[in-house]
Amino acid sequence: MESFTLARIIHVIAVILWIGGVAMVTTVIIPAVKKLKSKEDQIKTFEQIEGRFALQSKITTLLTGLSGFYMLYVLDAWERYLDYRFWWLHAMTLVWILFTVILYVLEPLVLHKLFKEYADKNPSKTFSFMHKAHWFLLVLSLVTTAGAVAGSHGWFFIK
């Protein structure tokens, strides 16, 4: 059971670093970048910061997924996917899939190029869209985290 507890520790620390970083980008960095005077400064600053964070997030999402699936394996709790009271497990898996696809597939192949193109044409619209997208992912992640802490300690909200 020690390995299960170790997986839970890794899971929670990875989630703190990952979702905490999303909160920082959403509530501090994007608003600050939006206030920079020139379009060139906005694009350069955002790319430098988000680029470093993307690398960290790749590691923390990987650790979250590995430790999460390991806990499911140890608990032999795969049937939870068939029970709606475990909506928070569905939510955790959905958030994880969303970020994994964005970080490992969409960002390097499509989003990076699109961002440069649109930010160059219309910076304020592009940053405002990106800000909204970050808020959506942050709120979804926080609701998921609240549901996961409550659910894994026996408070299910739904009977």
- Map tokens 């650790």 to a residue: 63
* Near ligand HEM by CB under 6 A: residue from 6, 105, 110, 149: 149
Report how far residue 111's alpha carbon sits from residue 153's, in angstroms, rounded to the nearest whole number: 38
Mark residues 74-93: x for contact with ligand HEM by CB under 6 A, - for none. Answer: ------------------xx
Q: Which of residues 15-34 bind ligand HEM (CB under 6 A)?
A: 15, 19
Beta carbons of 72 and 78 less than 8 angstroms apart? yes
139 vs 135: CA distance, rounded Å: 6
Residues 40-79 within binding reach of ligand HEM (CB under 6 A): 64-65, 68-69, 71-72
Task: For CA atoms 63, 48, 131, 100, give the dihedral sign.
Answer: negative
> Contacts with ligand HEM in 90-119 (CB under 6 A)?
92-93, 95-96
Question: For 76, which DSSP code?
Answer: T
Size of the site for ligand HEM (CB under 6 A): 21
Q: Which residue of this chain has its Cβ atom nearest to ligand HEM in the complex?
A: 68
Q: How far is 59 from 74, CA to CA, in rounded Å?
A: 22
Q: Which residues are at the interface with ligand HEM (CB under 6 A)?
A: 8, 11-12, 15, 19, 64-65, 68-69, 71-72, 92-93, 95-96, 141, 144-145, 148-149, 152
